[in-house]
């Protein structure tokens, strides 16, 4: 696990006490040499129960305010436990357009 991936994981665990958490470093799926530039978060927490989707994302953006100066892309999939049970998974990330060009 990369340093940034570990940091993001620890901060989310501390702040949201998630019932399910995945912090995926997707940097290798994108062009360029940065190894900690693209992340996907799947966070399931009771904390989200009274929050609209935009407010969930605002919370995470605020939590990682400094880190976002170093991260190029942060995909956020935020669910309550009930939503997660109904969804049965998060959507796949799109492929980087520069990786698909010939």
Query: pLDDT of 63-79, one tens digit each?
Result: 999 999 888 889 999 99
Structural domains of the chain, count: 1
Q: What is the pLDDT of residue 27?
A: 79
In a domain, 49, yes or no: yes
In a domain, 39, yes or no: yes
Q: What is the pLDDT of residue 87?
A: 87
Q: What is the pLDDT of residue 97?
A: 54
User: The pTM is what?
Assistant: 0.83
CA quadruple 48, 52, 57, 61: dihedral positive or negative? Answer: negative
Helices (H) and strands (E) in the chain, counts: 4, 3
In a domain, 101, yes or no: no
Mean pLDDT by 10 residues, the chain (102 residues): 89 98 82 71 97 97 93 92 89 61 40
CATH number at residue 54: 3.30.300.90
Contact by Cβ (8 Å): 38, 29: yes
**φ/ψ of residue 79, rounded to 5:** -140, 150
In a domain, 102, yes or no: no
In a domain, 100, yes or no: no
In a domain, 62, yes or no: yes
In a domain, 10, yes or no: yes
In a domain, 34, yes or no: yes
Q: What is the pLDDT of residue 95?
A: 65
Q: What is the pLDDT of residue 81?
A: 97
Q: Which domain holds residue 52?
A: 3-94
* H runs (alpha helix) in the chain: 3-16, 53-63, 81-87, 97-100
């Amino acid at each position: 696990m990369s340093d940034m991936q570990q940091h993001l994981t620890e901060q989310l665990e501390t702040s949201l006490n998630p019932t399910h958490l995945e912090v995926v470093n997707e940097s290798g799926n994108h062009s360029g040499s940065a190894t900690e530039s693209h992340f996907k978060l799947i966070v399931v927490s009771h904390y989200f129960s009274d929050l609209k989707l935009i407010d969930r994302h605002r919370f995470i953006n605020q939590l990682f305010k400094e880190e976002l100066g170093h991260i190029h892309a942060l995909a956020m999939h935020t669910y309550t436990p009930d939503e997660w049970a109904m969804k049965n998974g998060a959507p796949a990330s799109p492929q980087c357009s520069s990786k698909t060009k010939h």
